[in-house]
Chain A
Amino acid sequence: MYKLTIEENTYSCQPDETVLDALLRENVNISYACKKGTCHSCMVRSPDILPPQAAQAGLKNTLKKHNHFLACLCHPEQDMVIKLPDQSEFYTQGTVVANEMLNRNTLLLIIAFKDAFEFNAGQFVNLQRPDGLTRSYSIANTPQESNTLEFHIRRLANGRFSEWLHDELKVGDTVAVSEPRGHCFYLPERSDQGILLVGTGTGLAPLAGILTDALAHGHSGPIYLFHGSREVEDLYRIDEMRQLSRQHENFHYVPCVSGHHVPEGFGHGRVNEVALSSLTDLKGWRVFLCGHPEMVNQMKKMTFLKGAASADIYADAFLASPS
């Protein structure tokens, strides 16, 4: 019999029980449905130890890496600490060390921490205002770059949170930052695989992190980044990306503009359409999508139809609100 610990509470898991059985018997409020590993409703996390392999069957590699597992398939092999998906989060205080504009409406915000902040490039965190208002933002840098997190924040019309970040927050102020979340990140494996990154607006943030990470790991397959917006003025980091593509033969950067005025050197049209017409066969590719929810949904389907395996298509769910 093993102990299961959730926050302050400890439960016992009988020898023939799965973690889900035990928690349901103990009346723990956990979501579940099929009870046989298909629906993934009961996915939880083991923050400190590797869960049994059988309990990770069918999960995306990035979820496995962070010790996510299915409670309904898990017969514990030792005592376990369990984190439920909606469990209250642990916040760390960081200090703003830079805030400057990347273009006419996008703020670059860099927050520094006393200790190393562990994350994978491409994950997101929740930022919290002193009054408790919270929003999710993707991390734009990689963990190798000192104890800082970088964010790209677009000013939204009447967006209370983005206005606060743009207008009030100053260098030296502190901000509460949650633990990193999300499974949209690069894993250093299959390094000759093609990688397709498609983003609109500040969807560039996680993609830039993933790109830096992949290049730093010596990814040798072709990497394509398509970054789009309506007008050229809403793109950013154009010169840096072009510079990177000159330094790395396998990295191709295509900024796209869907509006009327399209300067030379830019793709014309919606970023998803430009990407799909440039790359016709995505069999064996890894795909990362970020930005406008409609674009993301459409691209999930289209890249799948063009051959990418569903397990190789990454997009984070929180982006349902336009960022």
Chain B
Amino acid sequence: MTDTQNNGEGIMSKPLYERIGGEPAVNAAVDIFYRKVLSDDRINRFFDNVDMEKQAAKQKSFLTMAFGGPHNYTGEDMRKGHAHLLKMGLDDSHFDAVVENLGATLEELNVPQELITEVVAICETTRNDVLGR
């Protein structure tokens, strides 16, 4: 046995993206998550001018990334991608709201709490880039 897949706690385990269910999990979550975001008055103004259809694809990119899946975004991409939102006043409270909606989505899909904690931790690693700091 190799230890290449040890997650640091000494337990053999697959990457988060696989444990959470991969692309099917992203597909299951995307509508629920985006519906929550659009219904959330704390943050929906940031999404007013984005086309629903294109947005669905971007939400999938977001979820794939948050689930630790394969993506090509760099920290710099995250900065550029959200820079126009900073001008609209994007701050920590909005970031927290997005993460909260994501957590609620996963709870609704009965994803175990330990996995949700991992997802939230991945989101946290992007906070400074998303908020342009």
Contacts and interface: CB of A to CB of B under 8 A. Distances in A.
A243 interface: no
A310 B72 contact: no
Nearest to B60: A38
For B27, B60, B71, the residue with the greatest tally of chain A CB atoms inside 10 Å of its CB is B60
Contacts of A57: 23
Contacts of A300: 52-53
B37 to A, nearest CB: 10
Contact of A313 (B52, B61, B64): B52
A310 B23 CA distance: 16
Interface centre among B38, B52, B56 (most CB of A within 10 A): B52
By secondary structure, the B interface counts as: helix
Interface string A8-49: 000000000000000000000000001111111000000000
Contacts of A39: 57-58, 61
Nearest to B26: A38
A58 interface: yes
B23 to A, nearest CB: 7
Contacts of A315: 53
Contacts of A97: none
B112 interface: no
B52 A304 contact: yes
A313 B23 CA distance: 21
Contacts of B39: 305
A78 interface: no
A38 B30 contact: no
A69 to B, nearest CB: 16
A104 interface: no
Contact of B51 (A38, A58, A297, A305): A297
Interface residues of B, number: 20
A38 B64 contact: yes
A309 interface: yes
Contact of B35 (A36, A38, A40, A304): A304
B10 interface: no
Given A309-B31, A310-B30, A301 B52 contact: yes
Contacts of B67: none
Nearest to A301: B52
Nearest to A57: B23
A285 B21 CA distance: 26
B38 A305 contact: yes
Contacts of A36: 64, 70-72
Interface in B41-71: 51-53, 56-58, 60-61, 64, 70-71
A40 B57 contact: yes
B56 A310 contact: yes
A319 B51 CA distance: 14
B52 A310 contact: yes
Interface in A299-323: 300-301, 304-305, 309-310, 313, 315
A223 B1 CA distance: 59
Contacts of A304: 31, 34-35, 38, 52
Contact of A58 (B27, B58, B71): B27
B53 to A, nearest CB: 7
A300 B72 CA distance: 29
A305 B52 CA distance: 11
Contacts of A305: 35, 38-39
Nearest to B35: A305
Nearest to A312: B31
A297 B52 contact: yes
23 contacts: A36-B71, A36-B72, A37-B23, A38-B60, A38-B61, A38-B64, A39-B57, A39-B58, A39-B61, A58-B27, A58-B60, A297-B52, A300-B53, A301-B52, A304-B35, A305-B35, A305-B38, A305-B39, A310-B31, A310-B34, A310-B53, A313-B52, A315-B53
Which 6 pairs from chain A and chain B are nearest by CB? A300-B52, A310-B56, A38-B60, A38-B61, A39-B57, A310-B31
Given A38-B60, A310-B53, A310-B56, 11 more contacts: A34-B61, A36-B71, A37-B23, A39-B58, A39-B61, A300-B53, A301-B52, A305-B39, A309-B31, A310-B30, A310-B34
